[in-house]
Amino acid sequence: MRTVLVVDDEYGTVEVLLAALEDAGYRVLTAANGRRALERLEENKPDLVVSDFMMPLMDGAALVHAMRSNPEYRDIPVIMMSAAPESALRKHVDGYQAFLRKPFRASALLERIASILSPLRSSSPR
Amino acid sequence: MTGNGNQLKLERVPTGIAGLDQILRGGLLGGGVYIIEGVPGTGKTVLANQISFNHVAAGGRVAFVTLLAESHTRMLQHLQPMSFYREEAIPDRLYYVSGFRILESEGLKGIVDLLRREIEGQRATLLVLDGFATTEESASSPREFKKFVHEVQAHAAALECTVLLLTNGSERAVSPEYTMVDGVIQLEDTLFEQRTERTLQIAKFRGSDFLPGRHPFRITNRGHEIFPRVETAFAVPTVQDAYSPRRHSTGIPSLDEILGGGVLAETSNGVYGPTGIGKTTLGLQYVALSSPTEPGTFFGFFESPERLRARAETLGVDLRGLERNGSVEVIWYPQGEHILDELGHRMVEAVRRRGVKRMFIDGYGALVESATNPERMTRFVSTLSNELRALNATVIMSMESRNVMGTATELPSKGLSSLLEGLILMRYTEIDGRIRRVVSVTKIRDSGFDPRLRVFEIGPRGIEIGDAIHGVEGALSGFAREPRVVRPDRVQGKGQED
């Protein structure tokens, strides 16, 4: 079973994505901000990270930067999501594989995850 | 804060909402903590966001922290159609985060840390905390809650960040947070029979004067439009009033003659009469004398601009041409649910914007209809008149009498006649089996006028006033009759107001 780490300070968003991803057969880890996400990464290395941009304590840009600076996590694909447009994020963060503007349908996220993970391994979650 | 020797002076932080800044005498005080309170639906979140976007537009930086379970993504979706919303402000200068999970896991201490870090990390000069009431619910004791408020205040002051705490309000009469914070802004919806009126009130504002009482506002796609109560906003005219002995022609030479040369310049005057008698016609003739250097405004509620233009044409007045060359502006508020104070501010704005000298308001009844508390009307008109007079506008306002005919000549609001410097009375009366229009002047302050009743007609050149009525009395009652006792002075002589 593939593991997805969902990082978002918004309780409602995390709950919705958690349910959708679990229904789709993924194992899901959650974190409320970038700092918690780094702790989660140490505990369980996920196959993919879905991260919000604006979060307290450590934002999505800092999280991606920390991941790309660490050989352990450098290759984990990241999908960024934000209520702000992608153009506003680009100057702060790079090295992510996809972007979703909030709000979005859970199906859109599932499609992105599938398209990123399938070339890496099989096309559907184990 | 700015240094002045050893003394630190608190700087104003404008909200960017003109009406609110007027109420606050320039804005909030920098580094202060303010509660914005109101039950759900009163517009707290929109107000805080509007202030936030305005703050960013003025060069500030904002951290917006929500403790509610609701998503700020959804909130931003609702804000996007608002004219103040600027997508480019997010996330660089306006940063939204949720503290809901931190509050759940780390309690108030975690929230204090979060707020401090966000102020520092975002270099925020304004912090909004939405869902402040949940912090009290999370506190293990009143003492812990007070400590939390105190810590927020201390960090805000030290980091020179102004803080807005949004809350549904406390059920307690005196809540500790109210005594601690620097100010409280209350938002309220009040039901008046079928209509509601939103109002804003400053319940507390440390270190500053403010306009007291409830001030109406509306929420549109421009956000909050707040209209400081006219009686407080113009309690003292914004410019020095200067007496002028000049007269303004009414546009009807024979009426000017009766008035002793026209209405007194920079005064408020009334024309009172039943429907269809010719009040609007008088107004059109009055503003028709406007010019680009002495502009006029027709501020109406009843007839649309297009209808007014057509009516003016029948009187030989090229209203469209006057509008085109900048002499006249027609402002029309079709009758509906208006906010009285908004109308007052629109009138003042219309006069200020173009330096209006002639203004016709058609009419007073629509203003009364807009008032949720008609008891205010006399004070409202008094204050508004003072401001318009100080701005050098000469105002004539139509006032409709209830009866088409009859004896009642009482003005629509108590005390109104004493506020008006001039009063023209128009009536229908029956003379020799015919309904005739009659006009008389009943008041020109500190000046002589011709008190006689005169028949008038409305022809292709507008109002044409004929001779004084002879040989009858009781015409004002609507039914002229032969005088019981014929007095030799019945038709002669000039009057002087008491």
- The pLDDT value given to residue B336: 83
B-chain CB neighbours of A92 within 8 Å are 91
What whole-number distance in Å separates Cα of residue B308 and Cα of residue B284?
A: 8
Q: How many helices (H) and strands (E) does chain A have?
A: 5, 5
Tokens of B315: 């009187």
Asked whether the beta carbons of B323 and B287 are under 8 A apart, the reply is: no
> What class has domain B2-228?
alpha beta
What whole-number distance in Å separates Cα of residue A76 and Cα of residue A72?
A: 9
- The pLDDT value given to residue B481: 67
Burial class for B97, CB neighbours closer than 10 Å (0-12, 13-18, 19+): buried
What whole-number distance in Å separates Cα of residue A72 and Cα of residue B42?
A: 50
A-chain CB neighbours of B71 within 8 Å are 10, 12-13, 103
Contact A57 B96 (CB under 8 A): no
Asked whether the beta carbons of A7 and A37 are under 8 A apart, the reply is: yes
**Cα B292 → chain centroid:** 26
Specify the CATH number for B247-496; select among 3.20.20.30, 3.90.1150.10, 3.40.50.150, 3.40.50.300.
3.40.50.300
Nearest CB among B92, B97, B117 relative to A9 is that of B97
Asked whether the beta carbons of B87 and B55 are under 8 A apart, the reply is: no
pTM, to two decimals: 0.87
The residues on A that touch B, with CB distances below 8 Å, are: 9-13, 32, 53-57, 59, 82-85, 88-89, 92, 102-103
This model of the complex carries an ipTM of 0.87
What whole-number distance in Å separates Cα of residue B388 and Cα of residue B379?
A: 14
CATH number at residue A39: 3.40.50.2300
Query: How close A45 gets to chain B, by Cα (Å)?
Result: 23
Query: How close A13 gets to chain B, by Cα (Å)?
Result: 7
Q: Which domain holds residue A36?
A: 3-105
Q: Where are the domains of chain B?
A: 2-228, 247-496
Residues A11-37: what's their mean pLDDT?
Answer: 95
Task: Find the closest chain A residue to B102 by CA distance.
Answer: A32
Residue of A9, A18, A55, A59 to mutate, testing the B interface (most B Cβ within 10 Å of its Cβ): A9
Maximum Cα–Cα distance for chain A, whole Å?
A: 36
Tens of pLDDT, residues B325-362: 999 999 999 988 899 999 999 999 999 999 999 999 99
Contact A55 B97 (CB under 8 A): yes
Residue of B98, B111, B128 to mutate, testing the A interface (most A Cβ within 10 Å of its Cβ): B98
- The pLDDT value given to residue B401: 87
B-chain CB neighbours of A56 within 8 Å are 65, 97-99, 102, 114, 117-118
- The pLDDT value given to residue B480: 64
Q: Domain for residue A125, yes or no? A: no
Q: Domain for residue A118, yes or no? A: no
Q: What is the mean pLDDT of chain A?
A: 92
A-chain CB neighbours of B98 within 8 Å are 9-11, 55-56
Contact B118 A10 (CB under 8 A): no
DSSP element (H, E) containing B342: helix B340-354
Residues A32-56: what's their mean pLDDT?
Answer: 96
In 3D space, the residue among B14, B17, B13 whose CA is nearest the CA of residue B217 turns out to be: B17
* Sequence-ordered list of residues with C-beta below 8 angstroms from that of B158, at least 6 positions apart, any chain: none
Identical topology for domains B2-228 and B247-496: yes
Contact B73 A54 (CB under 8 A): no
Chain B, residues 70-129, CB within 8 A of chain A, namely 70-74, 76-77, 87-88, 90-92, 95-102, 105, 114, 117-118
Tens of pLDDT, residues B382-400: 999 999 999 999 999 999 9
B-chain CB neighbours of A59 within 8 Å are 91
CA angle A4–A94–A20, rounded 5-degree value: 25
Distances (CA, A) of B240 to B154, B215, B243, B465: 43, 25, 10, 37
Give me the residues of chain B with pLDDT under 50, please: 1-4, 491-498
CB environment B349-371: b (16+ within 10 A), e (fewer): ebbeebebbbbbbbbbbbbbebb
What whole-number distance in Å separates Cα of residue A26 and Cα of residue A124?
A: 10
